[in-house]
Amino acid sequence: MMYWALVSVFGYFLYLVFVAKLKWQQAPFIALSICTCVLYASGILGFLEQGWGLAVSLGFVLGAYAIYKEKPVIPVTWNGILATLVSVAPFVFSFLAVKSDYLFTDWDEFSFWGASIKIMTVTNAIYDGGSSLSNTFKAYPPVQQLAQYLFVYPAGWSESAVLKAHNVYIYSAMLFASATVIRKDALLAAIAFAASSTFIYFFKYDIGHVLVDQLLGVVFLSALCVAVSAQDNDRKYLLPLIIFILPLIKQIGLVFGLFAIACAFVHIALGKGDGFKSRLANAFKLSALYLAVLLVSFKSWSLYLSSVDVTPAFSASGPINWASAAMQNKISVTLAELNTRILNPLYFSYATFHFRPLTIFMIGVALIAPISIMSKGRRLQETAIAAILPLMCAAYIAFLVYCYIAYFSEFESKRLASFERYAGTFLIAWASFLLYKIVDLSWRVFRSAYSLVAILAVALPVYGVTGYYRLDLQKIRPEQKKAVLRKDVSRLSDMIWKKLKPGDSVYFIAQNTKGLEKLAFTYEMQPFKANNWCWTLGKKYYDSDVWTCDKTLSEVMKGYKYLAIYKADQQFWDLFSSHFKDGERKDELAIYKADYDKDGMLRLTEVK
């Protein structure tokens, strides 16, 4: 069935290029986005598998229509051949770099982004109130997973297939964005796209994990480029589609959608032609349409979660007492940590150099001047957009800090957990957009010294790319320690899988650990349920230990049929050895079945 999916995508491509008149470099991302929207609409209605058939069939119909109506002929030129080779190179290298034995090894892959696509593939349904993810703290939207499902469903489940599909969507978004801004030359757009792909590693992302933050960043980049496109039809027909997708990748996509709408408003209002009042009226009208699309998208997922009795992520449990001593302490510590992080000298890696986040911000501000100077005929538009992006960056960081304080746990807030990853979502979009703009504005073939600016703009990222990117393009290599951990957890899950029946659940123990082992086990057990907390029991092992629960084994095992021990220690056996038979107390990789005697005492028998 994989061939049917590929042929279908090519059908979308033919229609978008020859009937809708998009640039060919724009078509792959739009084709994948249309398919994803079809899958989303079908999925929330409970027909995900049928939605796949509908999305694929639509591609066949559109492709056949394009062939019948336009009789497409693809012109062959040296420029076109080179543009194609450069455009597809990142796709091909990243595809070949993912070997068949690839395994997820990251915290967030186990806790949600890998686990959710696994559940969707196994059940052919969007995760709901009955899934093993429903009782976790996350209820993120499913567009990333649906883009992966489009290819994983026909290919059959494998983690390598998920990563390949993930990278295809990321690269297609960046190629789309480059071609949307740089319209004068397909080869130039391809070169700028290839150069910007290095930003994935500059901002501490990679192509070896299926995390959402870089995908959200490049889709925001696409929205930003369409919002200020020189083609009005891009804003009319493509921007609503991309805005619809943003909050369905992650809820904070709502903020990025608002940023894109603001950029479109400024671009239209400060454009040329008609009078200012007429342009302003048109800007308000289109912005109202975009806002409606954004809110419908955002609300649709909230309604779905409510319909399946799942509490949306970041739902406040009650009013926040900002004046309380505890909250004031949380605010002061979080802000102090923010100051430390934005001055972190090791954040941005370029060749052998490192830059602070604040330095990156200042570079973005400094580039306003050259963009303004090179923007003949559109100076007001281009300068305004370049000037409001730093303001949006500051607003985004402020919103992130607010979320840390208001919604994150005290442990995460005071440490600004994953702050660089979240901040990078905006920065990768901003950096790529500035690169495309500088190349577009400065390139004038070889008839002007301005063209040297374009050459320098694409040469600098390529020169400074980190060695990790070059290594990953050869082969994706997981961190060795995490790979060993994952294989050990897989061995433990294999010991119990054949014993499980629908409705069974497993309690996992890994004493004195911080949770990676537990998350890996929960992932391995999908779609069966495992405990979300208290995987280490007894007294705290150290002062900052927030993971160990001072509860009895009988208390936490209620409702669970099996116990899986990844790692036990002396504290565990001192407290709970009475529940086990002599000779069956193992410190690692053991499975036990739970029973209760006539006195209600928990008895655990080893499963062999």
- Position 53 scores a pLDDT of 93
- Structural domain includes residue 371: yes
- For the entire predicted model, the pTM comes to 0.91
Count of domains for the chain = 2
Report d(CA 6, CA 461) in Å as an integer: 32
Annotate 333-356 with DSSP letters as a single string: HHHHHHHHHHT-TTSEEETTEEE-
Report d(CA 396, CA 408) in Å as an integer: 16
- Position 17 scores a pLDDT of 93
- Indicate whether 540 and 469 sit together in one domain: no
- Indicate whether 487 and 455 sit together in one domain: no
Is the model's pLDDT at 346 over the cut of 80?
no
Is the model's pLDDT at 312 over the cut of 70?
no
Listed range (264-273, 286-295, 470-479, 528-537) with the worst mean pLDDT: 470-479
- Position 594 scores a pLDDT of 87
Question: If you ran DSSP here, which 8-state letter would residue 81 be given?
Answer: H
Q: What length does the chain have?
A: 608
The strand pair at 353-355 and 348-350 is best described as: antiparallel
- Indicate whether 25 and 112 sit together in one domain: yes
Domain boundary among 447, 474, 501: 474
- Position 295 scores a pLDDT of 96
Highest mean pLDDT among 9-13, 73-77, 100-104: 9-13
Is the model's pLDDT at 407 over the cut of 60?
yes
Report d(CA 172, CA 200) in Å as an integer: 14
Check: CB of residue 508 under 8 Å from CB of residue 522. Answer: yes
- Position 135 scores a pLDDT of 55
- Position 165 scores a pLDDT of 94
pLDDT in tens, 101-115: 888 888 888 888 888
Give the chain's count of helices (H) and strands (E): 27, 9
- Structural domain includes residue 271: no
Please state, rounded to an integer, the average pLDDT across all residues of the chain.
Answer: 86
pLDDT in tens, 347-360: 776 666 777 778 88
Q: Which of 309, 93, 327, 100 is nearest to 194 (CA)?
A: 93
Q: Can you name the residues that pair with 562 across neighbouring β-strands?
A: 506, 593
Q: Which of 297, 246, 289 is nearest to 429 (CA)?
A: 246
pLDDT in tens, 427-475: 999 999 999 998 888 876 555 665 677 677 777 777 767 667 777 777 8
Q: Which residue's structure tokens are 């940590």?
A: 337
- Structural domain includes residue 292: no
- Indicate whether 340 and 464 sit together in one domain: yes
- Position 41 scores a pLDDT of 95
Domain boundary among 474, 491, 525: 474
- Position 56 scores a pLDDT of 94
- Indicate whether 445 and 500 sit together in one domain: no
- Position 94 scores a pLDDT of 87
- Position 52 scores a pLDDT of 94
Q: Give the structural domain span for 573.
A: 481-606
Is the model's pLDDT at 412 over the cut of 90?
no
- Indicate whether 458 and 393 sit together in one domain: yes
In b/e form, how buried is each residue of 507-538, taking b as 16+ CB within 10 angstroms?
A: bbbbbbbebbbbbbbbbbbbbbbbbbebbbbb
- Indicate whether 495 and 466 sit together in one domain: no
Listed range (72-76, 147-151, 367-371) with the worst mean pLDDT: 72-76
Is the model's pLDDT at 267 over the cut of 70?
yes
- Position 265 scores a pLDDT of 95
Specify burial of residue 255 (Cβ count, 10 A radius: 0-12, 13-18, 19+). Answer: buried
Return the amino acid letter for 539.
Answer: K
- Indicate whether 529 and 588 sit together in one domain: yes
Annotate 138-158 with DSSP letters as a single string: ----SHHHHHHHHHHHHH-S-
Q: What percent of the chain has pLDDT over 70?
A: 93
Per-state percent for the chain, helix, strand, coil, to nearest 5: 65, 5, 30
Report residue 493 as tokens.
Answer: 């899950």
- Position 228 scores a pLDDT of 93
pLDDT in tens, 556-607: 888 888 999 999 989 988 888 888 887 777 888 889 888 887 777 888 888 8
Listed range (53-62, 289-298, 501-510) with the worst mean pLDDT: 501-510
- Indicate whether 553 and 569 sit together in one domain: yes
Domain boundary among 441, 474, 507: 474
* Half-sphere exposure (Cβ direction) of 518: Cα atoms closer than 13 Å: 20
Report d(CA 196, CA 501) in Å as an integer: 49
- Structural domain includes residue 254: no
Is the model's pLDDT at 314 over the cut of 60?
no
Q: In what side-by-side order are the strands of the sheet with 562-567?
A: 529-530, 505-510, 562-567, 590-596, 602-606
- Average of per-residue pLDDT across 207-220: 93
Return the amino acid letter for 506.
Answer: V
- Indicate whether 433 and 485 sit together in one domain: no
- Mention every residue, 6+ apart, whose C-beta is less than 8 A from residue 312: 139, 251, 301, 302, 305
Report d(CA 400, CA 416) in Å as an integer: 9
- Position 471 scores a pLDDT of 77
- Position 134 scores a pLDDT of 56
- Indicate whether 394 and 505 sit together in one domain: no
> pLDDT-based confidence at 40, cuts 50/70/90?
very high
- Indicate whether 84 and 180 sit together in one domain: yes
Report the phi/psi class of residue 314: left, alpha or beta, with left for phi > 0 and alpha for psi in -120 to 50: left
> pLDDT-based confidence at 318, cuts 50/70/90?
low
Sign of CA dihedral 375, 378, 381, 385: negative
- Structural domain includes residue 598: yes
- Position 132 scores a pLDDT of 65
Is the model's pLDDT at 254 over the cut of 90?
yes
